[in-house]
């Protein structure tokens, strides 16, 4: 395990959930703690200090939790990525694979402008499928993904492999699944 910001102490680890042999890493205990939340947001802000970007993008719903305060603190715009059917204006969508089936995410068609430099922020990288779909949408609108920032990473699921060619950073990396 690698923990750059001292946040592992706030993560609740639940064995055998959702199935035997899996350790569920629960972020609700991180954000319920004022210290855990502050260390998380401050760590993400620090990791972006030398990155040139103008938009923070966060997937529903935990990407909102971490992306919005980072965008606010750094005076950047925030773009929400939502599940299909939740955004009111014209959207683009991308389907991606889940463990059992598929899901669809959307963003407003006018949310990313050609030339925008985008940072994607989310709570966790597991298999990388959601972020891979988001990257495809950003690039189809002419944006450039300059960094992908996570609170936690489950390295054993090899999500980084789907994100090769992009700068990926995680504040806390667990070796297993």
Active site residue 160: no
Which residue's entry shows tokens 């899996």?
22
Question: How far apart are the C-alpha atoms of 131 and 105, rounded to whole Å?
Answer: 10
Active site residue 82: no
Which residue's entry shows tokens 């629960």?
26
Q: Pull the structure tokens for residue 171.
A: 């504040």
Burial class (CB in 10 A: 0-12, 13-18, 19+), 111: buried
Given 46, 90, 95, 99, which residue is catalytic?
99
Burial class (CB in 10 A: 0-12, 13-18, 19+), 101: exposed
Residue 162 is given by DSSP the state G
Q: Pull the structure tokens for residue 54.
A: 């103008």
| DSSP helix/strand/coil, 136 | helix
Given 4, 62, 144, 160, which residue is catalytic?
62
Hey, which residues are catalytic here?
62, 99
């Amino acid at each position: 395990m690698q923990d750059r910001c001292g946040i592992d102490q706030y993560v609740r680890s639940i064995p055998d959930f959702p199935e035997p042999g899996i350790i569920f890493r629960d972020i609700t205990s991180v954000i319920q703690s004022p210290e855990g939340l502050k260390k998380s947001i401050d760590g993400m802000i620090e990791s972006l200090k030398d990155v040139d970007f103008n938009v923070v993008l966060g997937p529903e719903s935990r990407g909102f939790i971490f992306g919005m305060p980072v965008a606010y603190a750094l005076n950047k715009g925030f773009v929400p990525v939502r599940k299909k059917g939740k955004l009111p204006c014209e959207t683009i969508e991308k389907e991606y694979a889940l463990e059992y089936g598929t899901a669809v995410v959307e963003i407003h068609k006018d949310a990313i402008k050609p030339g925008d430099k985008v940072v994607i922020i989310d709570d966790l990288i597991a298999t990388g499928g959601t972020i891979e779909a988001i990257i495809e949408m950003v690039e189809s609108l002419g944006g450039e993904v300059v960094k992908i920032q996570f609170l936690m990473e489950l390295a054993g699921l090899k999500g980084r492999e789907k994100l090769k060619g992009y700068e990926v950073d995680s504040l806390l990396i667990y070796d297993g699944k």
